[in-house]
Amino acid sequence: MSGLPGLKVTAAADFGRVGLLIGGDSAEREVSLDGGAAIARSFERSGIAYQSCDGAAPLFEAIRRDEIDRVFNLMHGPGGEDGAIQGALQLLGIPVSGTGLLGSALTMDKVRSKWLMQRLGIPTTEFELVRRADQDLAAVIERFGLPVFVKPAGLGSSIGITRVKDMSELGAAIEMALRYGDEVLVEPAVRGKEYFAGVIGRTVLPLIRIETPRAFYDYEAKYHSDETRYFCPCGLEPGQEQRLQNQALQAFDALRASGWGRVDFILDEAGEPWFLEVNTVPGMTDHSLVPQAAAQIGVDFDELVWRILETSL
């Protein structure tokens, strides 16, 4: 038995016809396609009627033809994770899995989400907002020291992120991040271990700790490297893990996330958490964290997919 509440739906036919939204044209396209293929296989095993839609246009065409009753959204990045698809489906009266318009927009925007966490007293790193590669950043480095992380403000999967160890690397890192949007964050690198809290409904899954020989948990470490190590149980004392799970849910709620998702944070060398971001459409590939954590409480991949689809109810 898992630690989750009972299923809301027990017959696949009750879901109706599902549109599996994947792909799109963001930089996270390939990750979405990989996860979508795994979900499609799960739908087939569970007897769920579905059609895969690569991007919003095919989905809306299928809706226009009255072929879709609800949507399982696995389109990462801009368009799929930023509130755009959620708002459009809301207007059309089509249920969609996961977080709604406001929460999707907030969590996708690293700048505004961090401002909100700071306002609510949820520990998150300070940062500087940069809009030009030629901006004078000497004061930023003086404030934070080195190394720092340079991140696009509105993208996931660690795409466009650079760990900068020398001032001479900073301009190029900002130029690369600006390829993915108009705003870039520069924030101090916290020394500590990375943890991830998956959320299903109101349940926070066991924390996962990762170790990678790479400079940080980047795209290669997340999706391709066989050297990344995952620890679940994470090794924390149970009381400390519970406190961190509670704080993760606080961050999840603060940003109006709902249904399912993942909260990422670093536990520094003093044992203090620093929340990085909330992901409302986490990866579902064979390297992904939410399926690994769900398995620790007896929820296999097919049940996890079913429960995510239930969040569209």
Q: Which of 264, 288, 303, 312 is catalytic?
A: 264
Q: Which of 195, 223, 241, 259 is catalytic?
A: 223
User: How many of the other CB atoms lie within 10 Å of CB of 270?
Assistant: 7
Q: Is 100 a catalytic residue?
A: no
Distance CA 199, CA 205 (A): 6
Tell me the chain's radius of gyration from C-alpha atoms. Answer: 19
Q: Is 229 a catalytic residue?
A: no
Q: Is 223 a catalytic residue?
A: yes
Structural tokens at position 50: 């579905």
Q: Which of 277, 288, 307, 310 is catalytic?
A: 277
The amino acid present at 67, given as its one-letter code, is: E
Q: Which of 283, 288, 310, 312 is catalytic?
A: 283
Distance CA 18, CA 26 (A): 22
Q: By C-alpha distance, which of 114, 50, 60, 113 is closest to 87?
A: 60
Q: Which of 19, 28, 180, 261 is catalytic?
A: 28
Q: Which of 29, 256, 262, 307 is catalytic?
A: 262
Q: Which of 73, 97, 258, 279 is catalytic?
A: 279
Q: Is 46 a catalytic residue?
A: no
DSSP 292: H
* Residue 51 and residue 19 in contact, taking contact as beta carbons nearer than 8 Å: yes
Q: Is 264 a catalytic residue?
A: yes
Beta strands in 161-225 (DSSP E): 162-164, 184-188, 192-200, 203-204, 208-211
Q: Is 195 a catalytic residue?
A: no
Q: Is 277 a catalytic residue?
A: yes
Q: Is 157 a catalytic residue?
A: yes
Distance CA 105, CA 208 (A): 26
Distance CA 228, CA 217 (A): 8
The catalytic residues are 28, 157, 223, 262, 264, 277, 279, 283
